[in-house]
């Protein structure tokens, strides 16, 4: 088991597992080309987060929220892309992209306000 620290609060616990008796498999040459046995690295913290997310999404509230998302959020992105021809950001860097998207959202909201 190995611990990897990516950011200040992001500590990951990883385990490294290696298959045993992989050389005796008759199908080995068809699915695996490397020398030695197959190895897998598991991130236990990530697996825990994925399981929690899966539980939330499959709950009654999660199912309702997924249905509502298609009515609330997705049309806005479609309108920005289709009506404004917005396909990619023209600026680089997180702050500049946030500013550019904020301006696009502001323009979208003003158009909605004027149309109402």
Angle at 21 between CA 17 and CA 22, to 5 degrees: 80
pLDDT at 55: 95
Which residues of the chain are modeled with pLDDT < 70? 1-10, 18-38
pLDDT at 116: 76
Query: What is the enclosing helix (H) or strand (E) of 11?
Result: strand 11-18
Q: What is the pTM of this model?
A: 0.44
Cβ atoms of 60 and 37 closer than 8 Å: no
């Amino acid at each position: 088991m190995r611990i990897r620290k990516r950011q200040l609060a992001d500590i990951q616990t990883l385990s490294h597992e290696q298959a045993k008796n992989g050389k005796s498999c008759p199908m080995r040459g068809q699915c695996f080309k490397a020398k030695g046995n197959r190895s897998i690295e598991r991130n236990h913290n990530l697996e825990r987060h994925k399981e929690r997310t899966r539980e939330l999404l499959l709950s009654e509230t999660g199912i309702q929220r997924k249905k509502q998302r298609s009515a609330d959020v997705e049309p806005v992105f479609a309108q920005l892309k289709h009506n404004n021809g917005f396909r990619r950001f023209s600026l680089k860097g997180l702050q500049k992209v946030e500013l550019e998207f904020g301006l696009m959202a502001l323009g979208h909201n003003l158009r909605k306000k004027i149309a109402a």
